Amino acid sequence: MNNIVLALLVIVTGYIVKITLFPSYKQNPNLKSKGKKKPEVEKKKPIVEGSFTPRQLSQYNGHDEKEIFIAVKGTVYNASSARGFYGPSGPYSNFAGHDASRGLAKNSFEFDVIRTFEQPIDDLNDLTETEKVALDDWEALFKRKYPVVGKLVAEET
């Protein structure tokens, strides 16, 4: 009988020690198995990967490459998580694979405010103060929401 009581005591003490030392196993199921989805914070961590010319960027339009990259004020963001907005059938698909700065500044997603990869990179110098403020607000949203993958650079000649 004494042995049984002792065994139970060991088990209970062991369990208390385990949940005290390793509480995360209980709280965060993502830590349990490697195959599971990574926690949200890790997914959003910005990774700077390199430089994109407008021509290279144009591949990431959600068609040619599955991923969707968008440039805002010279920085390229991976907006693949917002395929509903920027994917081929989304309302803002014109921005995918492009520098969206001018469109965002002027509140338009029409092609006439979006440069093609054959045109020089937009210096945005002619924007009005209001448009610049609008663009800065969009930039803040992109910074908050999407990982940075690089810079928009001119093609070497």
- The residues binding ligand HEM (CB under 6 A) are 82, 85, 92, 103-104, 107-109, 145
CB-wise, 109 or 117, nearer to ligand HEM?
109
Q: Determine the Cα angle at 116 with ends 110 and 134, to 5°.
A: 50
Residue by residue, DSSP assigns 54-65 as HHHHTT-BSSSS
Cβ 135 to ligand HEM shortest distance, Å: 10
| Structural contact between residues 25 and 31, judged by C-beta atoms closer than 8 angstroms | yes
CB-wise, 82 or 153, nearer to ligand HEM?
82
Question: How far apart (Å, rounded) are the C-alpha atoms in residues 108 and 148?
Answer: 23
**Secondary structure class of 72 (helix, strand, coil):** strand
CB-wise, 28 or 108, nearer to ligand HEM?
108
CB-wise, 100 or 152, nearer to ligand HEM?
100
